[in-house]
Amino acid sequence: MLSLAELARISGAALEGDGSRLIFGVATLKLATPEQISFFTNKRYRADLASTAAAAVILAPDQRDAYSGNRIVSDNPYLAFARISAALNPEFSADVGIHPAAVVDSTALLHESVSVAATATVGAGASIAEGCVIGPGASIAAGVEIGANCRISSRAVLLERTRLGQRCRIGAGAVLGSSGFGFANDAGRWVPVPQLGGVLLGDDVDVGSNTTVDRGALEDTILERGVKLDNQIQIAHGVVVGEDTAIAACVGISGSTHIGKRCTVAGGVGFVGHLEIADDVHITGMSMVMRSILKAGVYSGYPSTTNSDWRKNTARFQKLDQLARRVITLERELNQINQAESSVDDK
């Protein structure tokens, strides 16, 4: 529970209204009670704004007049909401210490503030810094290094040669450091190529549940600071994802492809290997990226092109049957003209 004045301060936004009003939580405009704060960022919910019972609403300056109650006014109302919600909903704190049913190798180095849940395993020589929380059944292999204040969720697997920065969050069932898919062909049979690199995560990297990140073949697979990966993503050996790039679920990135900084990749996109993707590239859902992208912008399609080209061509595809019929009509008409001409010539 915090006062509106405190929440305004925490969010760095302007308060317009009763700063002493106490707020107990957050909710949608529609469901908020008079003890909760809500936010307005999507015009499709304008009707809800008019009828909300919320104690206060977070909104942008140009929407200020649409609501007469207590307001938190911010140029980035969704960011203000994120901060206010985090203040009102602190992450649960795990029990500090090693659960008796966890299995921690005697040579592992764990800060005394670390929490290790039941049936988690920590291998020889692994190091886990202060404030980390290791969930039930998580598996930390020998030699893995985990920076301060990371959260490793249930059943996540961090294999050999994986190193994490600070404040990383690894989802349940995620696997970091599995062997890359590398084989040489010997007269039709596949011979595995040893995968000798590691997996390196910068600070503030999130990895979603059941996402997989292979270790590199010869060089590390790298997720730079601030990278956010959703669930069910596959990152192959030797991929590099640049700072602050966010990747939605079910994306697959093939080996040695490098993605730039501040990119966004929508769900289900695939990249072939050995590509270079520039900074500030945005790729829409289920695109297949077959060539390097050297210029910031929005890209789409199968295979991908600029979004504007893809939109135009796709609109035409949706009427391709009609177009083909129009070509048939043209052919028939032209044929008639040609026949008429030849009959004229014959005269």
Site for its own copies in 241-260 (CB under 8 A): 244, 246, 248-250, 252, 254
Asked, as a colleague might, if the bond just before 77 is cis with ω within 30 of 0, I would say no
Smallest separation, CB 346 to its own copies (Å): 15
Residues that bind its own copies (rule: CB under 8 A) add up to a total of: 112
317 binds its own copies (CB under 8 A): yes
Sheet holding 212-214, edge to edge: 103-104, 121-122, 139-140, 157-158, 175-178, 212-214, 234-235, 252-253, 270-271, 288-289
Q: Which residues 43-102 are close enough to bind its own copies by CB under 8 A?
A: 76, 78-79, 81-83, 85-86, 89, 92, 99, 101
One-letter amino acid identity for 55? A
- Distance between CA 164 and CA 150 in Å, rounded? 8
Please confirm, yes or no, whether 237 is among the known catalytic residues. Answer: yes
Given 75, 109, 183, 339, the residue binding its own copies (CB under 8 A): 183
User: Which of positions 184-203 make contact with its own copies (CB under 8 A)?
Assistant: 184-186, 188-194, 196
Token digits for 1? Answer: 């529970």
Which residues have C-beta within 8 Å of that of residue 108, sequence separation ≥ 6? 122, 123, 124, 125, 126, 127, 128, 140
Q: Tell whether residue 277 is a contact of its own copies (CB under 8 A).
A: no
Task: Name which of 69 and 268 has its Cβ closer to its own copies.
Answer: 268
| Closer by beta carbon to its own copies, 20 or else 215 | 215
Binding pattern for the stretch 140-179 against its own copies, x by CB under 8 A and - elsewhere: -x-----------xxx-x-xx--------x-xxx-x--xx
Least distance in Å: CB of 149 to its own copies? Answer: 13
Minimum CB distance to its own copies, residue 301 (Å): 8
Query: What CA–CA distance (Å, rounded) separates 215 from 202?
Result: 15
CB nearer to its own copies: give 1 or 20: 1
Out of 70, 139, 221, 257, name the contact with its own copies by CB under 8 A. Answer: 139
Sheet holding 169-170, edge to edge: 97-98, 115-116, 133-134, 151-152, 169-170, 206-207, 228-229, 246-247, 264-265, 281-283, 297-301, 304-306
Nearer CB in complex with its own copies: 18/43: 43
Cα torsion at 239, 214, 263, 313 (round to 10°)? 90
In the bound state with its own copies, the residue whose beta carbon lies nearer, of 64 and 225, is 225
CB of 191 to its own copies, least distance (A): 5
d(CA 230, CA 212): 11
- Could you tell me if 204 and 222 are in contact, meaning their C-beta atoms sit under 8 angstroms apart? no
Contact 179, 198 (CB under 8 A): no
Measured CA to CA, the distance from residue 347 to residue 345 in angstroms comes to 5
Distances in Å between the Cα of 288 and the Cα atoms of 253, 275, 299, 332 are: 10, 12, 10, 38
Residue 234, strand partner residues: 212, 252
Catalytic annotation, pick one of 237, 258, 274, 282: 237
16-24, 46-54, 61-69, 303-311 -> range binding its own copies (CB under 8 A): 303-311
Give CA–CA dist 283/267, Å, rounded.
9
Please select the residue that binds its own copies; options are 57, 144, 201, 236, rule is CB under 8 A: 236
Among 19, 69, 136, 297, binds its own copies (CB under 8 A): 136
For residue 3, the minimal CB distance to its own copies (Å) is 19
1 binds its own copies (CB under 8 A): no
Tell which one of 17, 147, 208, 242 touches its own copies (CB under 8 A): 208
Q: Which residues are catalytic?
A: 237
